[in-house]
Structure 1
Amino acid sequence: MDETLLRALTPAVIGILVRRGADFAAAEDAVQDSLVEAVRTWPDSPPRDPKGWLVAVAWRRFLDATRADASRRRREVRVETQPVPGPSETQDDTLDLYFLCAHPSLTPASAVALTLRAVGGLTTRQIARAYLVPEATMAQRISRAKRTVSGVRFDDPGDVATVLRVLYLVFNEGYSGDVDLAAEAIRLTRRLAAQIDDEEVAGLLALMLLHHARRPARVRPDGSLVPLAEQDRRLWDTRLITEGVHLLQQALARDRLGEFQAQAAVAALHADARTVDETDWVQIVGWYDELVRLTGSPVVRLNRAVAVGEADGARAGLAALAELPPSLPRYAAVAAYLHERDGDPVTAGRLYAEAARSAANLPERDHLTRQAARLHAAPRS
């Protein structure tokens, strides 16, 4: 059973049903039923035309559901008399589905879940496992999202920036269970890049590849995090780095800088350094200045404070940090790092412990707790 093929065909099959007259929610349900049937029957009897098979089965499931609902009898007449197949059979609606699933009326969490299901072809159970929530909870989230967008037409204009934000959220979730969300985000972004010529799409794909290249070095065998400065750079995936840098260079050459291109430029400078001491922190500060100009984000300013501390010294980094509100996520961790660099282990240890208490996940909390313990155990001069 080729699950990759099934997931790749999912958006095209949904698009065909929608263009035949099904609303999005009904089409998506019918396609999921056809995927379940494919998993059950294809190993013993694989079809010559997988896409055609899925369309036929999904369309029958949709018609069966339509007949079962007396209140939709008039719609049944309309869809039954529509020519099958039609010219839409060869039309690729994947891009429209990206826009639909990233509709501004959806919450970020709902948009991510709907994208993974409708465009990614994942089951509700897989998505729930990836996000470590009960399947029933995820099913409700997806159901509400489908109802929200069911009235949206495919020819409504879409917002590329919103789609990219959703894909970025998927990537940042990392991985758990049997679904690698980082790899899934890369796969979906590749598909988007193949359909739309946009420098920010290329920038996001480059950013994902450059970050993903460092993944093998980020975690020790015991599951503990390895900070960037301590990573074994021989473990980085040079193939992904080369591809990411190439994509970034092509995007930057168009001279329409965007947020994801600037983030990718920072990641590329890290990837280009053979050792941590060779990192070009001055250039990194420059790219963070561009990101501040583009976004005004306080999180970007927080990351910039770290870069300033590396480029101009810990005191300069602490001065940049002092301009930001201490309520920012990871503020205490950044302050701890800069205070340690400035020769104040007592304050750094206290701040590491404070940061650990508010850490977003267990590996990060354990790392910060170990940093605090290390400084508390260190002899005082």
Structure 2
Amino acid sequence: MVTHTSGLPALPARLGATDMNDPYANLTEEALLASLGDATLSAPPGSRFEYSNFASMVLSYAVARRAGQDYEGLLRKQLFAPLAMQHAYIKQVPAGIRAAQGHAPSGKPVPAWNFATNLAGVGGVRATLEDMVKYAQGELGQPTVSITPALKLSQQELSKAPPMAMNWMLMPVAGRTVHVHEGGTGGFSSFVAFDNARQRAVVILSDTTWNSLGSLGSLGLHLVDASLPLGKPRKETRPDPALLDGLAGDYQLAGGMKMRLTRQGDALVIQAEGQGAYTMGYDDAGDFYPRDFDALLRPVRGSDGYGFTWMQMGGQLAATRIDKKASKPALAVSPGTLREYAGEYPLVPGFGLVVSEQEGKLFIQGTGQQALEVAAVAADVFVAEGVGAEIRFERDPAGKVIALTLLQAGQKLRGERR
């Protein structure tokens, strides 16, 4: 559960949301456990990364039950008090604290989300910037207090695809390992990272929900290490007609909701079963977004065509095509052509991709990660389906491969071959 490889869905089946402005408000402990009984694991535990808010809620519930007290009381005693986080809370508001007003990306004020106390491990803790700075200092061991040994244990690597500690993403930066986590709830976003080697941490809190539009990661990582590129503002652009045609069809999201995607001119229109139709905007990061509410549709290219991930309410829901649209056969590429791509491609300081041909197959390996087989979907274009990545190779006028671009999670990273 702490490495998001539990196999549980992104959200519980019995979420019971009646208001998308506060989607977790109706979820009780009983409904969570019933959802656990309903759940079918998408993969054997420990075998595949799939971010799950459901798992985080099960975990905080289990920890509270094991401790014999509610989750807020446990946090106050074991974490908030030792680190002097005097203004952090779930439901019991400390004296003198006024909750900030949250906003949608459009700037419209929106209500904060509410969680049952024992399910608040998914994002129900509220804290001031001063509190979160103290928390980050605690992760760095400044000062050493009763919770320090547990914090250090939580920082140890537990899985490699992707590299994860306990709910921390492990990012290689210039030979060091930086612990990173970001997220958001209704009207709010946050980012925390710390670098033990440099004894440096970054905390960003925002009164706007950016999690569906790329979050705060680009800014936060640039502050962690200036060598990491600062992302550019997203700009609306026109989608490729082939992308629109490839996405059109009927899908079912993890959790059961059905959705139809259609092309209307140069736009994508979505319609969930029993709901109205919405025309989507498209940005230069490659994501579609509804203009009327906070969500994101991220195309995912596979060896058999296009699919997508739907991002809303803090969850990421994979979509499965349910129409009878014919899938495309995988492209056959000769071993000789595959060897033309082999080489090292630095993307950012401390991280790059190594490309190799092995027994007629192409493999991509990120720094500190396992090698992944990729499949050809077009000339010089490959996909790594397990991690939702697309790799596009570039050739010079003579036909020699000179660079690649990695498209993953709304980011585009280019590296020249060496």
Short-chain TM bin: under 0.3
Report the TM-score, using the length of structure 1 for normalisation: 0.25
Instruction: Decide which structure has the larger Cα Rg and report it.
Output: 1
Report the TM-score, using the length of structure 2 for normalisation: 0.24
